[in-house]
Amino acid sequence: MFRLKRQFVVAAGVAGVAAFAPFVLGGYDLNLLARFLALSLLALGIVLTWGHGGILSLGQGVFFGLGGYALAMHMKLTPLAPGEVPDFMMLGGLEALPAWWVPFGNPGFALLAVVLVPGIVAALFAWSVFGRRVGGTYFALITQALALAFATLLVSAQETTGGFNGLTDFQVVLGLDLNGAEAGRTLYWVTLLVLALGWAGVAALLASRFGTMLRAVRDGENRVRFLGHDAAAYKIIAFAVAAMLAGAAGALFTLHAGVISPAMVGVVPSIEMVIWVAIGGRTSLAGAIAGTLAVNFARDAISSAFPDLRPYALGLLFILVVTLLPGGLAELLAARFRKVAR
């Protein structure tokens, strides 16, 4: 069912072609593509949890935000002299760096935090919910509340988080001058590489015994449990891996967008992330990436021209895809190919 080798070949091929984009696209288009590729990384995690694990999370924005903020905090600290605090802290009346900010000055710590903080938070959260055998719709509702709570908390703790304004105005990341001419290309390639690795990694995971067990849990959790397996463990691991991917996506997105703010982590962005995957195809990694790119490019193209149309289009698309085409575009294409092959 899941042909790993073919996945690797396709992933490597697509990435190889995409690596030439900087020589073709202008600065703005390249930045846009890089942003959306970063978002695709998060979509891979949704395929893992939702498509293959049956876990619908309406709170992926939280983990996206945790990763984005972890890197953003590091970038805010880099240009500061010892004893200085970022400008927004001064606005809140803070004169010294809060203790929990200090380790983010270290680049190694910050990079680890980008994936580990979302991973650990997700694991603890999932453990506390799945461990009590609460799942399905309940889990979706609780994750949505989590997204709301996280965004609210970020806004209200503004002297240490930048509040509603978020964190912005980054100059340098790990020695790379973000104002420099080469920054755009370099970051694009980094993003592409991370995405290709993420794709290969998730594909391998799905093809492994773990993937089989995850699908078994999705299709009959009680049966898996009766056979003596810890069903919750599979779900917790899948959720944590998806959160780590979301964290990395958030960090990369923050680099390309130049800003991370509560507007990108709340209820609505979190649920929009599910749309990308629903449209692309919830069980297909390639479909999820394609869906993410398609929805975001379309949104960029139509929103300015017909601002009132967007909610209608998005809402209708969601209803139609979910009701009539649960497998998304990937299913449509697969059916077409099968027909041709026959």
Partner 1 sequence: MELLLGQVFNGFSVASLYLLAALGLALSFGLMRVINMAHGEMLMIGGYLAYLTLQVVPGPWRLVAALPVAFVGAALFGALIHVVLIRRLSARPLDTLLATWGLSLILQQGARSLFGAIGVEVTAPAWLDGGISVLGIELPAVRLFIIGVAIAVLAGLALLLSRTRIGLLVRAVNQDRMMAAATGIDAGRVDLVVFALGTGIAGLAGVMLALLGPVTPTVGQSYIVPAFLVVVMGGLGSIRGTVAAAVILGLVGSLAQISVDASVAQVLMLVFVILFIQIRPEGVVANKSRALDV
Partner 2 sequence: MIYRFLLGCAVLASVPAHAATPVKVGVLQSLTGTMAISEVTVKNAELMAIDEINAKGGVMGRPILAIVEDGGSDPATFAQKAGKLIQSNGVATVFGGWTSASRKAMLPVFQRAKGLLWYPVQFEGNECSPNIMYTGAQPNQQILPALRWATAEGYKNYFLIGSDYVFPRTANLILKKRIGQAKLGVAGEEYVPLGGTDFSAVIAKVRAAKPDIIFSTLNGDSNVAFFKQMAAAGMTSAKLPVMSFSIAEQEAQAMGPALVNGSYAVWNYFQSLPTAENKAFVAAYKKKYGARAAITDPMVHGYANVYLWKAAVEKAGSFEPEKVRKAAVSMAAIPSPMGPIKMAPNQSLVQRAYVGKLQPDGQFKVVSQLAGMIAPLPYDALAFPGKSCKPI
Q: Which residues are at the interface with partner 1 (CB under 8 A)?
A: 50, 54, 56, 125, 128-129, 132-134, 136-138, 140-142, 144-146, 148-149, 152-153, 155-156, 222, 267, 271, 274-275, 278, 308, 311-312, 314-319, 322-323, 326
Tell which one of 138, 164, 226, 312 touches partner 2 (CB under 8 A). 164
What is the C-alpha separation between 202 and 224, in angstroms, rounded?
22
292 lies in the site for partner 2, by CB under 8 A: no
Residue number with CB closer to partner 1 (187 or 278): 278
CA–CA distances in Å: residue 28 to residues 22, 24, 283: 11, 12, 32
| Residue 289 CB partners (closer than 8 Å, separation 6+) | 37, 40, 43, 44, 195, 199, 280
Among partner 2, partner 1, none, residue 259 binds (CB under 5-8 Å by kind): partner 2
CA distance 301 to 289: 18
Q: How far is the CB of 220 from partner 1 (least distance, A)?
A: 9
Stretch that binds partner 2, among 119-127, 204-212, 253-261, 321-329 (CB under 8 A): 253-261
User: Could you say which of partner 1, partner 2, none residue 129 binds, taking C-beta under 5 to 8 angstroms by partner kind?
Assistant: partner 1
Which DSSP category does 50 fall into?
I
Q: How far apart are CA 288 and CA 274, in angstroms?
A: 10
CA 298 to centroid of chain Cα atoms: 19
173: which strand partners? 176
Start-to-end Cα distance in the chain: 18
Q: What phi and psi, each to the nearest 5 degrees, are found at residue 84?
A: -80, 155
Closest contact distance (angstroms) between CB of 145 and partner 1 is: 5
Give dist(CA 245, CA 242) in Å, integer.
5
Is the CB of residue 110 less than 8 Å from the CB of residue 70?
yes
Q: Minimal distance in Å, beta carbon 236 to partner 2?
A: 31
Q: Which is nearer to partner 1, 189 or 318 (CB)?
A: 318
| Residue 82 binding result from partner 2, partner 1, none, given CB thresholds of 5 to 8 Å by partner type | none
158 binds partner 2 (CB under 8 A): yes
CB of 22 to partner 1, least distance (A): 36
Phi and psi angles of residue 260, each rounded to the nearest 5 degrees, phi first = -130, 130
Q: At residue 80, what are phi and psi to the nearest 5 degrees?
A: -85, 145
Residue 153 interacts, among partner 2, partner 1, none and using kind-specific CB cut-offs from 5 to 8 Å, with: partner 1
Residue 28 interface partner, choices partner 1, partner 2, none, CB cut-off 5-8 Å depending on type: partner 2
The whole-angstrom separation of Cα 248 and Cα 52 is 21
**Contact between 259 and partner 2 per CB under 8 A:** yes
* 99 vs 157: CA distance, rounded Å: 15
Joined tokens for residue 231? 């069903």
**H-only helix segments in 165-284:** 183-207, 209-219, 221-226, 231-257, 267-280
Site track 11-50 with partner 2 (rule: CB under 8 A), x = hit: ---------------xxxx-xx--x---------------
Among partner 1, partner 2, none, residue 98 binds (CB under 5-8 Å by kind)? none
Question: Does 304 contact partner 2 by CB under 8 A?
Answer: yes
Residue 263 touching partner 2 (CB under 8 A):
yes
Backbone angles phi, psi at 86, to 5 degrees: -60, 155
With CB under 8 A as the contact rule, the residue among 59, 61, 118, 166 that binds partner 2 is 166
307 binds, among partner 1, partner 2, none (CB under 5 to 8 A by kind): partner 2
Q: Considering beta carbons, is residue 162 or 327 the nearer one to partner 2?
A: 162
Q: Which residues bind partner 2 (CB under 8 A)?
A: 26-29, 31-32, 35, 87-88, 90-93, 152, 155-156, 158, 163-166, 168-170, 179, 253, 257-259, 261, 263-264, 300, 303-304, 307-308, 310-311
